[in-house]
Amino acid sequence: MLGWLGMVRLTSPDRPWPSARAAYHRCMDFDQYTVALLVRRADAPAFTAEQEAELQDAHLAHLADLHAAGHLAAAGPLTDPEGFYRGLSILTVGVDEARALKEADPAVRAGKFAIVVMPWMVPGGAIRFQPTEFPRSGAQARS
């Protein structure tokens, strides 16, 4: 079996993991993205149905704006049975900028969700994102 296990077996006391990892990264071309997870907050305030709908529309409009600006490659809801993980976004900017952009989401600012942000590397050319139109409201998403 290759992958992580293969890399570990190839390391030795005179060639520890960080060196093997660095060598792997030098010989591999990676595309870099930032992944942001939208997670449910345990301390989220209660919202009326009308407030929820308004917040969802503002959230969708925010995502559409990020996509139109070229910062957001893809985004969508997650169907976590526990309801903790609510959405995933793949951004084309670094971690710090992605965090700032995602923290500006109206649903995050309202305290409904928190954000978990991390870098993500994939082999160069493995993924291609096409420009599309993101819905700006729940009504537009359903049509």
Q: Are 104 and 91 in contact (CB under 8 A)?
A: no
Per-residue pLDDT at 64: 97
Pick the CATH number of 30-142 from 3.40.50.740, 2.40.128.20, 3.30.70.1060, 3.40.50.1400: 3.30.70.1060
Per residue of the chain (143 residues), what is the pLDDT tens digit?
A: 333 333 333 344 444 555 555 656 667 799 999 999 999 999 999 999 999 999 999 999 999 999 999 999 999 999 999 999 999 999 999 999 999 999 999 999 999 999 999 999 999 999 999 889 999 999 999 88
pTM, 2 dp: 0.80
Question: Who's near 99: CB < 8 A, 6+ residues apart?
Answer: 36, 115, 117
Q: Tell me the HSE value of 10 on the side-chain side, using a 13 A CA sphere.
A: 13
Domain boundaries, the chain: 30-142
